[in-house]
Structure 1
């Protein structure tokens, strides 16, 4: 037995079957202004 996984199926994979997806950022980091406002509020 080998320690390496069998990747023979990967070479046969058809990329054409994949659909294109537009990336959407869901979790944005707060801006410096937002952080300053929250510090002032507490």
Structure 2
């Protein structure tokens, strides 16, 4: 028995069966302008 996992299923996997999904950023990072504006407001 080897230490490596069995990857035969991965190599034979059919990618065409997957559904296409749109990824949406749930917590987008602020832009440089937003950060500068917040710094100016707080000081």
TM-score (norm. length: structure 2): 0.61
Which segments of structure 1 move beyond 3 Å, counting only runs of 4 or more?
A: 30-42
TM-score (norm. length: structure 1): 0.62
Q: Which runs of 5+ in 2 are unaligned?
A: none
Number of residue pairs matched by the alignment:
42
CA RMSD after TM alignment: 1.7
Q: Which runs of 5+ in 1 are unaligned?
A: none
